[in-house]
Amino acid sequence: MITNLHKPIMVNEILSFINDEKELSILDCTFGGGGHAKNFLDKGHYVTAIDQDKNAINAAEDLSKSNSNLSFYKINFKDLDKIDEKKIHEKFNFILLDLGFSSNQLENENIGISFKINSKLNMNYLDGGVTAHEIINNYNIDELTRIFQEYGEITHSKKLSEFIIKARTKKIINTNFELIEVIRNSGINFRSKKIHFATQVFQALRIETNKEINNLNNFLHKVHSFIEKKGYLAIISFHSLEDRVVKNYFKSNSFNKKYIFNNNLDWGYEILTKKPLTPSKSEIKQNNRARSAKLRVGRFVN
Ligand SMILES: C[S@@+](CC[C@H](N)C(=O)[O-])C[C@H]1O[C@@H](n2cnc3c(N)ncnc32)[C@H](O)[C@@H]1O
């Protein structure tokens, strides 16, 4: 039995877009601990699930024991078109993207994305690729400044990069606690007193190591080929950079009722969430991770 720490987010809001009367074909692109998938399966739907993290395979095997309507593929969702030869032509009634990392990954000391657990600098929760150790100890001043600016929206990115480079020439920065000390000593005032002062730096490193924005853009570029007519695309994001990408995607591909496609193509989305939906107060109380979630949903029209 595998301990699953992850609680699925905004389940009721997501289920409210799903028609229970029919058996639907659902694509869960961020399977994680299988929380959302289990809810779909319990309602009798078919779930094709994707996750790049090898640990998700265990959760999928567990869930498959009680449910034969689940198929799992360990791939990056940016490679959606490579699921397998048979699936390429399948279209889905509902596609879900629940972005970022799971609570299981947050608590995993080999990944080290938590401020609370001292671990080797890694931050890669997607099984491979560049690590935060390589970035912090090898990136040059321009590369470091770019990621802190673009992905952390840190005002004094260059000053911070210079400070890190000075610190690492004295001693390699090996752990996330060592990195937190360097950030603390940099003398830079970070954005908000409400969040941990290292939040923006950790966010920037996480986005760079896992290529979060590139993955999302690549996925959005191709996802329309996989949605059934009148099917839904639902995306939960957890930081403003991702939410901006999702919002702009729906906006530039929106369809209005006068039969006009915004993108000059023969498909678009009816936007069902003018403003993103957010979790209820009681959900946030029970699951602190939900506090920054934003859900946007579009109905596919072609
Ligand atoms: C927030 S968790 C999803 C939790 C899941 N909905 C549940 O209820 O258990 C996000 C998951 O997406 C996976 N993930 C993130 N980016 C990915 C990508 N580009 N390709 C494949 N999986 C990805 C992570 O490994 C993680 O397991």
**CATH number of residue 29's parent domain:** 3.40.50.150
Q: Give the number of other CB atoms < 10 A from CB of residue 172.
A: 12
Q: Which amino acid is at 130?
A: V
List phi, psi (to 5°) of 255: -125, 130
pTM value is 0.94
Q: How far does residue 34's CA lie from ligand 1's centre (Å)?
A: 9
| Boundary of a domain, candidates 183, 210, 237 | 210
Residue nearest to atom 12 of ligand 1 (CA): 30
Residue nearest to atom 24 of ligand 1 (CA): 101
Q: Are residues 144 and 279 in the same domain?
A: no
Mutate to test the pocket of ligand 1, among 5, 27, 39, 51 (most ligand atoms within 8 A of CB): 51
Q: Are 183 and 201 in contact (CB under 8 A)?
A: yes
Q: Are residues 94 and 225 in the same domain?
A: yes
β strands within 35-89, DSSP E: 46-50, 70-73
Q: Give the number of other CB atoms < 10 A from CB of residue 295.
A: 22
Q: Are residues 62 and 138 in the same domain?
A: no
Q: Are residues 254 and 188 in the same domain?
A: no
CA 232, CA 17: separation in Å to the nearest integer? 8
Q: Are 203 and 239 in contact (CB under 8 A)?
A: yes
| Boundary of a domain, candidates 210, 241, 267 | 210
Q: Are residues 217 and 94 in the same domain?
A: yes
Residue nearest to atom 5 of ligand 1 (CA): 32
The three-class DSSP label of residue 262 is coil
242 Cβ closer than 6 Å to some ligand 1 atom: no
Q: Are residues 148 and 177 in the same domain?
A: yes
Mutate to test the pocket of ligand 1, among 30, 62, 96, 110 (most ligand atoms within 8 A of CB): 30
- Tens place of pLDDT per residue across the chain (302 aa): 456 667 999 999 999 999 777 899 999 999 999 999 999 999 999 999 999 999 899 999 999 999 999 999 999 999 998 887 656 568 999 999 999 999 889 989 899 999 889 999 999 999 878 999 999 999 999 999 999 999 999 989 999 999 999 999 999 999 999 999 999 999 887 766 677 888 999 999 999 999 999 999 999 999 999 999 999 999 999 999 999 999 999 999 998 777 777 777 789 999 999 999 999 999 999 998 899 999 999 999 98
Chain centroid, CA 226 distance in Å: 19
53 Cβ closer than 6 Å to some ligand 1 atom: yes
Residue 32, Ramachandran bin (φ over 0: left; ψ between -120 and 50: alpha; else beta): left
Structure tokens at 144: 């470091």
Q: Are residues 227 and 192 in the same domain?
A: no
76 Cβ closer than 6 Å to some ligand 1 atom: yes
> Angle between the 55-66 and 35-42 helix axes, to the nearest 10 degrees?
20
β-strand 260-261 against 255-256: which pairing, if any? antiparallel
| Residue-range definition of the domain harbouring residue 190 | 109-210
Q: Are residues 117 and 193 in the same domain?
A: yes
Q: Are residues 90 and 28 in the same domain?
A: yes
Q: How far does residue 186's CA lie from ligand 1's centre (Å)?
A: 33
Helices (H), 238-287: 240-252, 281-286
Residue 179 lies in a domain: yes
DSSP, res 21: T
Q: Are 177 and 90 in contact (CB under 8 A)?
A: no
Counted domains in the chain: 2
Q: Are residues 127 and 171 in the same domain?
A: yes
Q: Are residues 88 and 168 in the same domain?
A: no
40 Cβ closer than 6 Å to some ligand 1 atom: no
Residue 6 lies in a domain: no
Q: Give the number of other CB atoms < 10 A from CB of residue 106.
A: 18
Structure tokens at 217: 């853009």
In the beta sheet, which residues pair with residue 120? 175
Q: Are residues 256 and 219 in the same domain?
A: yes
| Boundary of a domain, candidates 165, 194, 210 | 210
Residue nearest to atom 22 of ligand 1 (CA): 51
Q: Residue 272: which H helix or E strand, with range?
A: none
